[in-house]
A and B are shown apart, each in its own frame.
Chain A
Amino acid sequence: MAAPAAQNKLIRWIDHRLPVFTFINHELQEYPTPRNLSYWWNFGSLAGIALVLMIATGIFLAMNYTPNADLAFGSVERIMRDVNYGWLLRYMHQNGASFFFIVVYIHIFRGLYYGSYKAPRELLWMLGVVIMLLMMATAFMGYVLPWGQMSFWGATVITSLFGAIPLVGDWVTHLLWGGFAVDNPTLNRFFALHYLLPFILVAVVMLHLIALHQHGSNNPLGIDKKGPQDSIPFHPYYTVKDLFGLAVFLLFYCAVVFFAPNMFGEPDNYIPANPLATPPEIVPEWYFLPFYAILRSTPDILFISAKLAGVMAMGASILLLFVLPWLDTSPVRSGKFRPVFRIFFWLLVIDCLVLGYIGGQPVNNMTLTIGRTAEVWYFLHFLVILPVLGKFERPLPLPTSIAQAVLKGGAPPATSRAPMEKP
């Protein structure tokens, strides 16, 4: 499709000097997109919308929030009670974080199932991992800001982890704290960083999108587009589909914001921070629980203390995602054509859910055993199963093109095609 000549003279004048209209037309309207994307592909745009929602509500919250250890808790209560619709802003922001993670986790597992990390999309995937890391840092610091009991003790536990790093551990911890314990300087720097990181996040999301638009979306078949018959323009087909997905998302989101706004939260965080009283159980937010389980389940390994080993294992569980494109040796992208991989994929999903559950339970021999098993399985999946599977698995025959698999006309002989077509 050729770029349509703009009707309006002013638009033509601007576009000749600053090609914003050409850009929008190219990247949002005619941008060729595989015609067979399923609803699992909605979660990328939903994540972008969630980010905008978080920034918008966050800016208004920051106008009313006081980052001071003596005043922070009270200022959040003032937002809840005295600021017009402050409760709505805060509940949208607080639950927005949870929904952002739900959406992003689904987005990640979609990428895992359909091999979206494989060539030529390795950098796209790696930028995605950077986005997840930035999200985690931002969410963690945001949770500290209300300065409740879980804010304070969560911050204490997590920042203390850096103390496990050999040689520089104490220095790093004191740098994070701005002193010798979690206190007012910690709150101040966390607030500053909590405001800064989302904008860095936006920049990395831009890079993520540039990398995406270079080769276009992967698709449920995992095969490349072979011609114009395989793709459709992004607008109106995927704009309308994403809008419908957004409405469904908002239904779930608003149901929680308006009717169960504290369902993801810990009651303890409505108690003001008290450095002298440790809560009976310190639990991070639900989206950190799988990683927290890995941290707590790791034992002493040889000469490495359990604390350092736990920190290393937790770090490794995320960092290994950076090299995932090279760990998975199978040339076939989509799990749809990898019968054995598919089994292991769902085992990994279950494994992560188990880790999440264990992360929220008190430590005893039972939870420790289950947690350790799940942890070992997590690493086994990425470090052993994926590399080996690619060598031995016999994938199902791939369709010759997207259009052929999706459109009813022009199908090749039924014998070879039968097992891979969706009913």
Chain B
Amino acid sequence: MKLRLVLGAAMLALGAVALPLLLLPAAHAQDEGAGGPPPPDPLLDAKFSFRGPFGTLDKAAAQRGLQIYKEVCSNCHGLYEMSYRNIAALGFTEDQVKAFAAEYQVDDFNDKGEPVKRKALPSDRFVRPFANEAAAREAMNGAYPPDLALIAKSRKGGPDYVYSLMQGYADPPASMKMGDGLNYNKFFPGRQIAMPQPLTDGAVTFTDGSPNTLADEAKDVATFLEWAAEPEADERKQLGTWVILFLIPLTGLLYALKVSVWSKLH
């Protein structure tokens, strides 16, 4: 009886495996075509301070990253989900935030309803470099620089991706045919990126005098963009630690209670 069952099961399993093989020629799928660019290199590890459950943001690095954003990135990239007031969280005083915002001009209306330009306030959103997507593509050889507020959350690898991408520029291998106006970057999917290399050794002179090699700059700007994407991260982990520290003894107590209630049964 048992033998017959086992044999039957084995036959069924064989049939299940064989059937799709018979059907396979009807499949539309193709194997990955050869000849395309190799997949991007594995990302570099920046060893960020905010990694891990207890890691916190390096605010000084994020401030330097903001300086990089202001001097380099903001020429092409917006930070649309953010307002100037948000940077207070990086340790700037109220006056510093006001001064930072006041360097930008925004559109508004005066009391007569006429369009005017005025200095930006902390409550204003970060000014976008282009009026709209079409204007950006017109100026950027057809490419559309993505908004950076969520870039560290919307790319696989997050801040490590930003850190690597900044350092991934190189001369293309001789065998690779580059598209018009595209740049070789070993960390970009497809290895061809419209953005020219934004950062180099010494591209930004930090106000706090910190080292400014390409790797330093890449790490600082990635730290800033990680904060821009997840400004709540430090608070979240801190609250989470308390929650877990509360739940562990609670779980233990409830288990003890369960054991004690059930002990009356047996």
Contact = CB atoms under 8 A, between A and B. Distances in A.
Interface of A: 35, 74, 77, 80-81, 87-88, 91, 232, 236-237, 240-241, 243-244, 247-248, 250-251, 254-255, 257-259, 261-262, 267-271, 280, 297, 299-300, 306, 340, 343-344, 362-365, 368-369, 372-373, 375-377, 380, 384-385, 388, 392-394, 407
Nearest to B86: A81
B37 interface: no
B12 interface: yes
A236 B264 CA distance: 11
Nearest to A269: B154
Main secondary structure of the interface of A (DSSP, over half): helix
A192 to B, nearest CB: 26
Contacts of A240: 254, 257-258, 261-262
Interface string B1-20: 11011001100110111011
Contacts of A262: 153
Contact of B247 (A236, A237, A250, A270): A250
Given A81-B86, A343-B9, A372-B20, A244 B243 contact: no
Interface in B192-217: none
Nearest to A271: B154
Contacts, number: 139
Interface in B202-254: 229, 231-232, 236-237, 239-241, 243-244, 247-248, 250-251, 254
A249 to B, nearest CB: 10
B34 interface: no
Contacts of A280: 189
A93 B137 CA distance: 37
Contact of A237 (B20, B149, B261): B261
Contact of A372 (B23, B150, B158, B243): B23
B150 A232 contact: no
B150 A247 contact: no
Interface stretch (B25-33, B67-75, B112-120, B165-173): B25-33
B91 interface: no
Closest A-B pairs by Cβ, 8 of them: A258-B240, A372-B20, A270-B154, A247-B251, A244-B254, A87-B232, A270-B153, A299-B26
A88 B236 contact: yes
